Structure 1
């Protein structure tokens, strides 16, 4: 790929702590001036009040994002610290701004002006409605005393979320194992792995980072090894228990100040689901349906473990947390002759990335250009420009930071670094997104090889990237993934399906040594194994959703999150926790990172994603360019500028239903 001159401003990630501090002070000072001027308006109108407030979000969004993003990716501790401190200061300031009664009064005056509201376009009108609702949900309709209390609570919740995330990012578990204790792991797992000598015995360092953890939980033959590593992972960040407990109590208090019974009730009012009852009905219906699949899966897994225990001469005592991945993987290998080790030989990182980017280029009628010597935060990071497939219209750019390193965010996620929006001069600001992941690195003579699940993750996360890149809205607050929280995953989940299409897999799955495409027989076995364990996998999602609702749909903030987590996990997933005390909820970042009372959205939106794929792409062709353009224009382009239900109906040509999802996981329809 060749280099070109990109349009739009290229962002600077080489910030010192002093740069960050200066930017924060400048943003705060500028914001105060803008809000003071809006509040002083004697004749509040859309142009004199709403436009300046929304334009501030437009103009400052990228600077805010870069500053707060660095805590997740910078190699310098002083920069990560400065980034965390900046986020805390900026979030506290934003909370303070949203508590300004004088600003709310002029916003409310515009909102109440029926004639002006009627004259506005749909996105401008939605902007006023959402802005007024934001102020009201921040307590501006409350008494001064209650408003002050709510402001204090929101500031503290922001601090707790930042501390929780930082603890999770920087405190990976670590344990030593001999080669014998790691029986079952492929040779490339050991290449380049750090070792330590203990009492004259060489041992390998294994951490709780995903590329270390998951292979052991999937392939480690020794139950004791899996149990020890699982325990290290489940006992991470004990300091986060107290942070979560405090957050739960404060959320209940805040919701009740605002006139809601529970935090879930407060949060769901803005979602597609609307009420806790709707969510609980959905979760329990799914649990009931999935149990039908899970019973058969559990019986088969139990048979495998009983046989192992009998061969080892130890009594069978049941299935445990650390058995799930191992026996599910083993069952898949035996029933479908699919070996993760065999499969990953055909998924070299370089080819998979190239192939998946090609898929997105064709589907969305775009072209990508890799930037040579880009201004990035680490040498591992690639930067791409995005252009329309025909002509020379620039669209945006994105970054890929795909390999693990110390002190880096340790899962896979996408940051919408800069939203696209309409500038005041009528031109367009170009969006920027960054994908951060932790895929296996090259080891010795072997290139980075992905599991098939990794390739599906890459498809998913890039879906978020292009939701941002392809969105075109007037205001940044509606751009890209800023949709209802229980719809935001649907576009990315829909795109996971490409990882299971034989014609698609053959485009990029090639043997890393020979270059031969993945054999047709292996693809058939892989696809046949797709729904193996679907009942148990999705029950795990139900568990997370039910835990979320259990701690957030309560009128009492003194719930014991640790006890609820462990109890529900056994009941729903049907695997025992074991005899070791654990607190897995202390690294359940979703609960402190914006998915509180919203985790159900993963499964909820999966229903929509299956419907979109089956009713349009599967029917019309996964490589049908017109279907891809329809998807781009009806689902991605509007972002949150209209209700997600409208976007879905426009794309589907009807209201969505759950038939495609139930069929996709092997369930019979009623």
Structure 2
């Protein structure tokens, strides 16, 4: 699975600690807070006329903690630990850490010293561009946390921020803890492959055997894509969209608090406040971007909807059911999948026979090693669960150690139930010249092995795997002087671009044929199947991207308003029907309750997925496709210009440096058939 690097030295830094008792978590949380507070107190005690970049900005930005991984580990174990008591302790700890973070980010005594450096032209003029950027960003952070407000407004803002942090922690914990389930007979699950039923829990209901199907991804997605009985798809969709009802109140409260925060800061809307430091800069730029793309996508969607309606009418006629002429949310994935099967003879069940977890993992690791000039070595180290693997990363050219990554790929009770990159330790240069080496984890929920059948991934799963591992590589390949700029610490509307760009390798025949082998026969994926798979890439492109446009527009609706008293369930339902062009159905649902992005840092920023998709297409087609996807010099350029700088440069500058020109949307529009 991994290869051995030629090592320049045998030095391998120790991994962070992952095993804790409840008492240790509480003690560590106290230690994190006390050690950081000591740094802030020391800075605050500096007379303003003695403040310098070295004694003021650096301690705040680069060495707040003795161990910079400790806080990240606590926050991550909340999502992945097997023991609920530990998860709960980490949740409590996160609330304390958030409260302290807000308190420390709003210390007037510290800001006075920081501002004295920022406002000292003589000091700022002699700083290097990187140091000047750091000083500017640190001052900006304090200012945007209300340090230029009056004392009473600042105290009010602090309370708002603390409440928002607590709401976010509760919201996301509810999502992880409250999975839904439904019971179906084998007949009601017609269309699902035999492997779906292997080792699946059953229950007897009135003498009838029924299968337990959960709302976790490995259950939800196959049913929505393959179950022939529409009532089954509807029931599971409704079960998923009626989870965590209490979260609706939490997010509606958060919307009001965010608006209050924006007003305290002197902005009309939360979006106006948030976007000021993004690439987009203003809400009107986002809204224009979304609506312009929406109009273009509707041209594709018109044709796609007509084809889906014809298929649905045909199916209903075959079973003597009346078709009401409407398309519903539970029809979306099923009919797009059916079109792929009929028009291109591509079925998930056939394709995934060639994507066993072992082969896919090897393919991903090989692809990233070759592209980025890295070597991965599997370690014997352990983490928070027996299924988690640990890997060392080395530079293949220099032999230098780069960092560690961990892989936690299967679902389990209480675990974070999406797919994401978890930064565990940042990389940066300490004051004594030594380096802190990064550690990051990919956390996902791919299908588990069952009996003699290994974990088999759909092509969509493979794409998700490539994407999230791309974030891990951003964390690992970032090599910055200051912790503040490490890894994915870039503008929110740029952070997805590097990983989205790397998804393109999943559609390259020469790449797929290197790791796609039938799990039983070990025969390579047939060329004609690859051709059909690639040809089917843009099936439903209009509708798929309209779904992303909906999420972005909804985000703007709730965060770019001067009246935050919003019935989010009503707004979500109405806007979803209008933009995605599928009906919600007869039952009231509240999918916003599990829309984790809105309480996980993407508020007024969800548009960034589509925004950065444009950049990712430009980077791939203009450089890699032109110069060769296996071109090591292009890969090295990508690592140097896009991944290595972290947040030490503006996103626009990084893209321009990599492309050699201003980016545009031509490649993206062409890639989806427009």
TM class, shorter-chain normalised? over 0.9
Aligned match of 2:54: 47
Q: TM-score scaled by structure 2?
A: 0.98
Select 1:9's aligned residue among 9, 14, 20. 14
Select 1:283's aligned residue among 254, 274, 290. 290
- In structure 2, how many angstroms separate the alpha carbons of the residues matched to 1:569 and 1:61? 41
Q: Could you tell me how far 1:348 is from its partner in structure 2?
A: 0.6
User: What aligned pairs does 1:350-369 form with structure 2 within 5 A after superposition?
Assistant: 350-369=358-377
Residue 146 in structure 1 maps to residue 162 in structure 2 = no
Contact 2:180 2:240 in 1 (8 A): yes
Select 1:409's aligned residue among 408, 412, 416. 416
User: Residues 421-440 of structure 1, C-alpha deviation per residue, up to 9 Å, x if partnerless?
Assistant: 00111121111101000001
- In structure 2, how many angstroms separate the alpha carbons of the residues matched to 1:399 and 1:174? 30
Cα pair distance change 1:95/1:332, threshold 3 Å: same
Q: Could you tell me how far 1:277 is from its partner in structure 2?
A: 0.2
Aligned residues: 666
- In structure 2, how many angstroms separate the alpha carbons of the residues matched to 1:660 and 1:357? 27
- In structure 1, how many angstroms separate the alpha carbons of the residues matched to 2:353 and 2:163? 48
Q: Could you tell me how far 1:55 is from its partner in structure 2?
A: 2.9
Aligned match of 1:535: 542
Contact 1:404 1:441 in 2 (8 A): yes
Contact 1:396 1:430 in 2 (8 A): yes
- In structure 1, how many angstroms separate the alpha carbons of the residues matched to 2:515 and 2:216? 27
Aligned match of 1:453: 460
User: Residues 543-563 of structure 1, C-alpha deviation per residue, up to 9 Å, x if partnerless?
Assistant: 000000000000112011111
The 3-state SS of whatever aligns with 1:434 is strand
Aligned match of 2:524: 517
- In structure 2, how many angstroms separate the alpha carbons of the residues matched to 1:514 and 1:57? 54
The 3-state SS of whatever aligns with 2:211 is strand
Contact 2:35 2:64 in 1 (8 A): no
Residue 600 in structure 1 maps to residue 607 in structure 2 = yes
Residue 75 in structure 1 maps to residue 78 in structure 2 = no
Contact 1:421 1:479 in 2 (8 A): yes
Contact 2:176 2:414 in 1 (8 A): yes
User: What aligned pairs does 1:170-209 form with structure 2 within 5 A after superposition?
Assistant: 170-209=177-216
Contact 1:365 1:629 in 2 (8 A): yes
Contact 2:185 2:211 in 1 (8 A): yes
Q: Could you tell me how far 1:58 is from its partner in structure 2?
A: 6.2
Contact 2:471 2:488 in 1 (8 A): yes
Residue 323 in structure 1 maps to residue 331 in structure 2 = yes
CA RMSD of aligned residues (A): 1.1
Q: Could you tell me how far 1:270 is from its partner in structure 2?
A: 0.9
Aligned match of 1:259: 266
Residue 638 in structure 1 maps to residue 645 in structure 2 = yes
User: Residues 570-623 of structure 1, C-alpha deviation per residue, up to 9 Å, x if partnerless?
Assistant: 000000000001000010000000000000000000000000000000000000
Aligned match of 1:485: 492
- In structure 1, how many angstroms separate the alpha carbons of the residues matched to 2:320 and 2:523? 44
The 3-state SS of whatever aligns with 1:376 is coil
User: Residues 169-211 of structure 1, C-alpha deviation per residue, up to 9 Å, x if partnerless?
Assistant: 0100111111111000000000011111111111111000000
The 3-state SS of whatever aligns with 2:289 is helix
Q: Could you tell me how far 1:29 is from its partner in structure 2?
A: 1.3
Q: Could you tell me how far 1:60 is from its partner in structure 2?
A: 4.3
Q: Could you tell me how far 1:414 is from its partner in structure 2?
A: 0.3
The 3-state SS of whatever aligns with 2:160 is helix
- In structure 1, how many angstroms separate the alpha carbons of the residues matched to 2:442 and 2:290? 30
Q: Could you tell me how far 1:59 is from its partner in structure 2?
A: 4.2
- In structure 1, how many angstroms separate the alpha carbons of the residues matched to 2:369 and 2:509? 19
Q: Could you tell me how far 1:391 is from its partner in structure 2?
A: 4.2
Residue 227 in structure 1 maps to residue 221 in structure 2 = no
- In structure 1, how many angstroms separate the alpha carbons of the residues matched to 2:135 and 2:398? 36
Q: Could you tell me how far 1:37 is from its partner in structure 2?
A: 1.1
Query: Unmatched 5+ residue regions in structure 2?
Result: none
Contact 1:57 1:476 in 2 (8 A): no
User: Residues 134-170 of structure 1, C-alpha deviation per residue, up to 9 Å, x if partnerless?
Assistant: 1111111111100000000000000000000000001
User: Residues 605-657 of structure 1, C-alpha deviation per residue, up to 9 Å, x if partnerless?
Assistant: 00000000000000000000000000000000001001011100000000100
Aligned match of 2:657: 650
Aligned match of 1:660: 667
User: Residues 87-107 of structure 1, C-alpha deviation per residue, up to 9 Å, x if partnerless?
Assistant: 110010010011111100000
Q: Could you tell me how far 1:392 is from its partner in structure 2?
A: 2.8
Aligned match of 2:580: 573
Q: Could you tell me how far 1:9 is from its partner in structure 2?
A: 2.5
Residue 394 in structure 1 maps to residue 401 in structure 2 = yes
Contact 2:371 2:635 in 1 (8 A): yes
Contact 1:471 1:638 in 2 (8 A): yes
Aligned match of 1:35: 40
Aligned match of 2:24: 19
Residue 337 in structure 1 maps to residue 345 in structure 2 = yes
Contact 1:2 1:371 in 2 (8 A): no
Select 2:97's aligned residue among 85, 90, 95. 90
Contact 1:57 1:477 in 2 (8 A): no
Aligned match of 2:598: 591
Q: Could you tell me how far 1:2 is from its partner in structure 2?
A: 7.7
The 3-state SS of whatever aligns with 1:139 is helix
The 3-state SS of whatever aligns with 1:225 is helix
User: Residues 482-529 of structure 1, C-alpha deviation per residue, up to 9 Å, x if partnerless?
Assistant: 100000000000000000000000000010011111000000000000
Q: Could you tell me how far 1:119 is from its partner in structure 2?
A: 1.1
Q: Could you tell me how far 1:61 is from its partner in structure 2?
A: 2.8
- In structure 2, how many angstroms separate the alpha carbons of the residues matched to 1:632 and 1:192? 43
Contact 2:357 2:456 in 1 (8 A): yes
The 3-state SS of whatever aligns with 1:192 is coil
The 3-state SS of whatever aligns with 2:327 is coil
Q: Could you tell me how far 1:308 is from its partner in structure 2?
A: 1.1
Q: Could you tell me how far 1:311 is from its partner in structure 2?
A: 1.6
Q: TM-score scaled by structure 1?
A: 0.98
Cα pair distance change 1:293/1:6, threshold 3 Å: farther
Select 2:129's aligned residue among 103, 122, 127. 122
161-170 or 556-565, which deviates more: 556-565
- In structure 2, how many angstroms separate the alpha carbons of the residues matched to 1:474 and 1:158? 29
Aligned match of 1:311: 318
- In structure 2, how many angstroms separate the alpha carbons of the residues matched to 1:336 and 1:58? 55
- In structure 2, how many angstroms separate the alpha carbons of the residues matched to 1:108 and 1:235? 49
- In structure 2, how many angstroms separate the alpha carbons of the residues matched to 1:410 and 1:184? 25
